Every structure is written in C-alpha cells, then in structure tokens.
Amino acid sequence: MKYTNSIEIALPQERVAQLLADPAEMPKWLRGLVLHEPQSGIHGRLGTKSRVVMQSGKRTIELTETITRRDPDDLHEIPQGTTVHFDREIVGAGMSSVVRDRLTETAPETTLWESDSEYQFSSLLMRLMGLVMPSVFHKQSQQHLQDFKNYAEQGQDVREQKN
C-alpha cells in the first residue's frame, strides 16, 4: 500500500526541518508517542536505530525506526533551493513501512512538507486491515502532518488536546 500526504506550513524551511529533527519536540506534535529512544546512533542522524512506543487507544505498539536518509546533514544552514529529505524505515509486529519526507521552500516563510508512505504487511490481520481500511493509514499520516503544523505555527501541543 502506497500513498502521499502533504501540507503547507507557514514557517521557513530551516525552522520546520529543525523542529522535525528535535527529539524534545516530538511528543508535542506526534499524537500517541510514548517513547522514542535511540538504540544506536544519535537521534535523527543517518543510520540511527530507535525504539519507538506508540499508544493508540488501549493498544501499545512497539516499533523500530532506522534513519535511511537525512540530507542535508546540517539543518542550520540549508542552501537556498535545497529540498530537505528525511527517510526512515519502520518495522513492527506484522508490518514494515518506508516513509520519505521532503521539505521544500515554496516562499521565504512557507514550507511544503510532502510525505510518501509505503507499507508492507506480513501478518494476516495487518494484511486484511490494509486491504479493508487503507484510508485509516492515510488519515492517520495526514493527522500527524496537521498536528505538526498546528504545533509549529500556533504552539498547539497534542498532549493538551482531548482525543
């Protein structure tokens, strides 16, 4: 299953990239995040493997995330006209996914975040969910982008919202 989500954020590209890469900011916009800790490497850097724990209702989901691309590496001096790439592989019980994020400056104070997601399912239950309810995955991904936008632009912390 493959899909793409996108959203425009009213902030400069460099600021958006820095917020996305900062582990201290993640719980403020990534709904359901319980834990995101590097097992090897430095958070957000190429090759880093992290243990990720998410809470969805009463379900706790444990995943392993590996950063497969971060370009450019220095997010404090992004050359004008450069597209920022954050790619990662995520593996959990019965599924794996590849997410390719691109941040493109569309105006001096506006950034387009495009996110390509590709899921593969190994368990029968997850395969059925992917076939019967693909929109659930797509909507959840779009919710993450919207939550980030709300946090980045307005300081809205998802932990202070009622789900």
**Based on the structure, what is the number of domains in the chain?**
1
Whether residue 126 is contained in a domain is answered as yes
Asked whether residue 151 is domain-assigned, the answer is: yes
Residue 128: is its pLDDT beyond 90?
Answer: no
Neighbours of 56 (CB within 10 A): 11
Domain, as residue range, for 148: 2-20+67-160
Q: Give the residue among 73, 126, 75, 76 at the shortest CA–CA distance from 97.
A: 126
CATH number of the domain encompassing residue 75: 3.30.530.20
58-96 pLDDT, tens digit each: 989 999 999 999 999 888 889 888 999 999 999 998 889
Based on its alpha-carbon atoms, the radius of gyration of the chain, rounded to whole angstroms, reads 16
Sign of torsion, CA 28 32 13 5? negative
Residue 126: pLDDT over 80: no
**Which three-class secondary structure state does DSSP give residue 84?**
strand
In a domain, 36, yes or no: no
Does 41 fall in a domain?
A: no
pLDDT in tens, 10-61: 999 999 999 999 989 999 999 999 999 999 999 889 999 999 999 988 989 9
25 falls within a domain: no
Residue 118 falls within a domain, yes or no? yes
Residue 152 forms part of a structural domain: yes
Please tell me the distance from the alpha carbon of residue 121 to that of residue 123, in angstroms, as a whole number: 6
